Structure 1
Amino acid sequence: MGKVVDILKKVGAITTNSHIVLTSGKHSSKYLNKDALYPHTLEVSKIGKMIAEKYKNKNVGVVIGPAMGGIILSQWTAHHLTLLKKQEILGGFSEKDGENNQVFKRGYDKLVGGKKVLVVEDFTTTGGSVSKTVRSVKACGGKVVGVCVMVNREQAHVTAKVIGAPFQSLDVFQSDAYDEKDCPLCKQNRPINTELGHGKEYLAKKAKK
């Protein structure tokens, strides 16, 4: 673990010894809470600068992040790339559609067409959101020069091959992510955390079955 995890600890964004439902649907006892990080603009700015430093020589024209977490990070990264390169680097984001894909709305498809694009995200567990964003960038005629996440929670499984583009992370945080059927926390009847992650939605869906 390195600088980013240290920042997350500093702002109280790491929860342990709980029962969390992650965005991916997997269950974990640990949680990285982006909502606890993003109000601290100075710290987010530092992270955006770390990413920008890695890609300052890659001729990036646009920085894209998948909603929601990638939106703020894309703006800070584009801001610092603009300062480093002394030319305007645009920032935008992709959004989920009804089929859970990441697509471009609001005219942002025109931002990426014919451009070299850097895709950024805060945390990744399966690589799903960023890989879908990569596909959308390519479908709009953009070239993905790289994907960078703040923290990779599954270093052994989330790779450039899975993402579909050159990939790196600023830091790693190995979490114990389980499929629901294999979750030891469920077997121990540990209560689902409804304050963090997607526990509230998970329980609501389960109640309808």
Structure 2
Amino acid sequence: MLQNLGMIRKGHYVYADSSHGEFYVALSKGKTESAELPDELVELCHAMARFSADGVEVVVSAPSGGTAIGKCVAEYLSELLGRKIPFVLLEKTKDNLLAIRPEDVSRVERRSVLIVDDVLHHGTTVRRVLQIVRGIRGTIAGVSVVWNRGDLTPSDLLVPFLYAPIKHKLVSYLPFGFPLPCPLCEEGVPINTDLGHGKEFLARKSAAG
């Protein structure tokens, strides 16, 4: 379905955990809360909300392709539960790290939190979000993503539940050959710097000489 919607791009991409792969998933047309979502993706967001509704008080997302998805899930949860479910978007610091804005701490502290993202691979971003929420004494209700492409389980993330309407594992590679060598690097396929983390990877590689 995602491929038919033009959301799966083929090339040479660097993911959040620095692994490489041939495919990149761009579920929305931007990384803002107002980014446009196709109707089919809205339906998946509604499915995520229905599964995750029990006890949720706030939705938290990282600033990524999942931003608009998190907002959509929060809005539909508000409709289902008949009360406002706030949406809290984390921010990136100057060092490219995730952080919560001071004014949002009280919206998450001691509340039941649903973590929402677009694609779950190795879980690097979601684990950082979980760490932030737990660090301000938020209670993790669960994690909901559109696509669990890394075949992760709730026990991998230490969460009550992990829901994904789409489950299809894709292979990724590390650039230094463990556990699998990156054939894209070996073939000299240029790294995409427009999507994913290719720009940061190349900058680190250049700095290291």
TM-score by length of 1: 0.85
Task: Say if 1:12 and 1:36, in contact at 8 Å, map to a contact too.
Answer: no
Change (3 A) 1:70 1:196: closer
- 1:204 and 2:198 aligned: no
Task: Say if 1:61 and 1:115, in contact at 8 Å, map to a contact too.
Answer: yes
Task: Say if 2:175 and 2:185, in contact at 8 Å, map to a contact too.
Answer: yes
In structure 1, distance between residues paired with 2:206 and 2:157:
34
Deviation at 1:96, TM superposition (A): 3.5
State how 1:44-193 maps to structure 2 within 5 Å.
44-56=41-53, 58-97=54-93, 101-155=97-151, 158-166=152-160, 167-182=162-177, 183-193=182-192
Q: What do the CA deviations read for 1:154-199 (whole angstroms, capped 9, x no partner)? A: 10xx322332212222212322211111212111222222333222
In structure 2, distance between residues paired with 1:103 and 1:201:
19
Structure 2: runs of 5+ lacking an equivalent: none
In structure 1, distance between residues paired with 2:191 and 2:200:
11
In structure 1, distance between residues paired with 2:15 and 2:189:
15
**Which residue in the other structure is 1:32 paired with?**
25
- 1:12 and 2:11 aligned: no
Structure 2 counterpart SS, 1:148: strand
Task: Say if 2:51 and 2:163, in contact at 8 Å, map to a contact too.
Answer: no
Task: Say if 1:44 and 1:76, in contact at 8 Å, map to a contact too.
Answer: no
In structure 1, distance between residues paired with 2:65 and 2:6:
17
In structure 2, distance between residues paired with 1:146 and 1:206:
36
Deviation at 1:201, TM superposition (A): 3.1
Task: Say if 1:94 and 1:105, in contact at 8 Å, map to a contact too.
Answer: yes
Q: What do the CA deviations read for 1:52-107 (whole angstroms, capped 9, x no partner)? A: 11022x11110111122332122111110111111111111223446665321151
Task: Say if 2:12 and 2:23, in contact at 8 Å, map to a contact too.
Answer: yes
Change (3 A) 1:68 1:134: same
* Equivalent residue pairs, number: 199
One-letter code aligned to 2:126: V
Between 1:116-125 and 1:86-95, the stretch displaced more is 86-95
> C-alpha root-mean-square deviation of aligned residues, in Å?
2.1
- Percent of aligned positions that are identical: 28
One-letter code aligned to 2:189: R
Change (3 A) 1:111 1:101: same
In structure 1, distance between residues paired with 2:110 and 2:23:
40
Change (3 A) 1:131 1:194: closer
Change (3 A) 1:73 1:106: farther
One-letter code aligned to 2:19: K
> Which has the larger share of helix?
1
Change (3 A) 1:96 1:195: closer
In structure 1, distance between residues paired with 2:132 and 2:55:
20
